[in-house]
Amino acid sequence: MILTVTLNTALDLTYRVPALVPHASHRVSQVIERPGGKGLNVARVLGALGHETVVTGFAGGPTGALLRDLLATGTAGLPGTVHDALVPTAGATRRTVAVVDAANGDTTQLNEPGPDITPAEWAAFTTRFTGLLDGARAVALCGSLPPGIHVGAYAELVRLARAAGIPVLLDTSGEPLRRGIAARPDVIKPNTEELAQLTGAREPHRATLDARRRGAHAVVTSLGPEGLLAATPDGLWQAAPPAPVRGNPTGAGDSAVAALLAGLVDGTDWPTRLTHATALSAATVLSPVAGEFDEEAYEALLPRITLTTPSPAS
């Protein structure tokens, strides 16, 4: 199985409106409610790809109870291949609200901060995490840290996974990424802004190579509509869709992470992993539901992804 960690889980609410107008009252045409947070989004996509996945992190309060109910029933797009190993917390799980403007496809996102995690709850989680490593083929550490968890938390989890011989992908930002990369994860997956904050370099090729020198075995950078850039032990590649896709980008990066994890456990080469990750990410943007992918678009895009080997100075 693949283990995904979401320390700051969320109940995702998506509101669709005909047009989003500031200072106006809106009639919502569609409401979608489902478990969220980056690692849960990754698990949803992995399940759709046929991979058995276990999700862990924290859940608490009425919102957390509803999130776990949705996981148990397999509703809201979560297949039965996703299993709940969340740790209870006294604080209430956060909510995120995405307002989708049907007129232009733009999305406005509102994210709550998450519950305060106590030292005892963190200790319970690390015990659960260590136990789950037995039987895991890969681990994904995803998203922000809720209040109360120290900034070196991901570095601690990377070291635990590496000590158990389990490959680990880290997808976070800021100081947790800076600390985590020093623990030498197998893969990190920043976007260009997160990469610039980490390295101080704005040129993506140079920044990606710099991030790899800081400790990551491989760095896969999201370039938004331009696809993915990867610096790996086997070389430097850029994978791009045939044309920029328009739609809702929510969850596109999580779909890329899912494809990279699937490629990791399946043992495919880096060009194949990047091709699938780019196609899956673009198909997520094209999906009418935020954070899910359009299967027909995914299959259609796969043979049309362009793979190049750019120079760092390009």
Q: What are the C-alpha distances in Å from 174 to residues 100, 136, 161?
A: 27, 27, 21
For residue range 230-245, what is the model confidence (pLDDT) as tens digits? 999 999 999 999 988 8
- Name the active-site residue from 116, 254, 269, 294: 254
Our answer to whether residue 116 is catalytic in this structure is no
Q: Sign (positive/negative) of CA torsion 131, 133, 135, 141? A: positive
For residue range 28-82, what is the model confidence (pLDDT) as tens digits? 998 888 888 999 999 989 988 989 999 999 999 999 999 999 888 865 455 567 8
pLDDT band at 103 (very low <50, low <70, confident <90, very high): confident
Q: Contact 57/37 with Cβ under 8 angstroms?
A: yes
Check residue 294 and give its pLDDT.
Answer: 84
Question: Pairing between strand 82-84 and 228-232?
Answer: unpaired
The tokens describing 10, both together, are: 């969320």
Residue 314 clears pLDDT 60, i.e. is over it: no
How far, rounded to the nearest angstrom, does the alpha carbon of residue 131 sit from its chain's CA centroid? 23
Check residue 312 and give its pLDDT.
Answer: 58
For residue range 276-288, what is the model confidence (pLDDT) as tens digits? 999 999 999 888 6
For residue range 192-232, what is the model confidence (pLDDT) as tens digits? 999 999 999 989 999 999 999 999 999 999 998 899 999 99
Check residue 82 and give its pLDDT.
Answer: 86
The tokens describing 36, both together, are: 């969220």
The tokens describing 26, both together, are: 């809106």
Mean pLDDT of 288-299: 80
Q: Which residue in 4, 3, 7 sits closest to 145, CA to CA?
A: 7
For residue range 9-31, what is the model confidence (pLDDT) as tens digits? 999 888 889 999 989 999 999 88
Residue 258 clears pLDDT 60, i.e. is over it: yes
State phi, psi for 187 to the nearest 5 degrees: -145, 140
**Count helices and strands in the chain by DSSP H and E runs:** 10, 15
Report the C-alpha dihedral over residues 56, 132, 190, 198, rounded to 10 degrees: 100
Question: Distance between CA 147 and CA 169 in Å, rounded?
Answer: 22
For residue range 145-177, what is the model confidence (pLDDT) as tens digits? 999 999 999 999 999 999 999 999 999 999 999
Sequence-distant (≥ 6) Cβ neighbours of residue 203 within 8 angstroms: none
Check residue 285 and give its pLDDT.
Answer: 87
